[in-house]
Amino acid sequence: MADVKSVESSMFRSKDEFVTVHVKGISDVQMRLIRIGNYITAGEDAVIAQAANSVQREVQKSIIGANAEPKSVDTGMFANSIEVNKVGKMHYKVTPEGYYPNGTSVKKIASILEYGTQYITERRHFRNTKYRMEPVVNRMVAEQLRKLTKR
């Protein structure tokens, strides 16, 4: 709501305004927009966490041979090493973590299996999962955003 007041003044002699406009309720609107933004961000973060967990399960299925990629060796240790880590607001990372009993990093073995060597055929667990899951994740996030903005 705007409150407009005329100010008595000589047009040529005064440096004061001729009209003053006061908008009431701006701070209330700003606070409401901040609350809505926080609500949407929290909802999107939750669905992105769910999507990251879905990607984790898909990578694990790939490792144990449930998908088109060749099954990896020592699948239990490798599949169980896949973790979801929150990196920041609405940012999650699905990655192998940990070490094998001999001290070798699971990330190193994952990289060797993903890209192959002259002796080992590439397994493409992560890249194929990305291509399979990208449209699924996009759909999940879009649906959640539609729900959140209908409020």
Tokens of 92: 């999650």
Rounded CA gap, 141 and 135, in Å? 10
Which stretches of the chain score pLDDT less than 70?
Answer: 1-18, 73-74, 151
In DSSP notation, 77-96 reads HHHHTEEEEEEETTEEEEEE
pLDDT tens digits along 39-82: 888 889 999 999 999 999 999 999 988 887 777 766 788 999 99
**pTM attached to this predicted model:** 0.75
Nearest C-alpha neighbor of 132 from the set 85, 49, 50, 69: 69
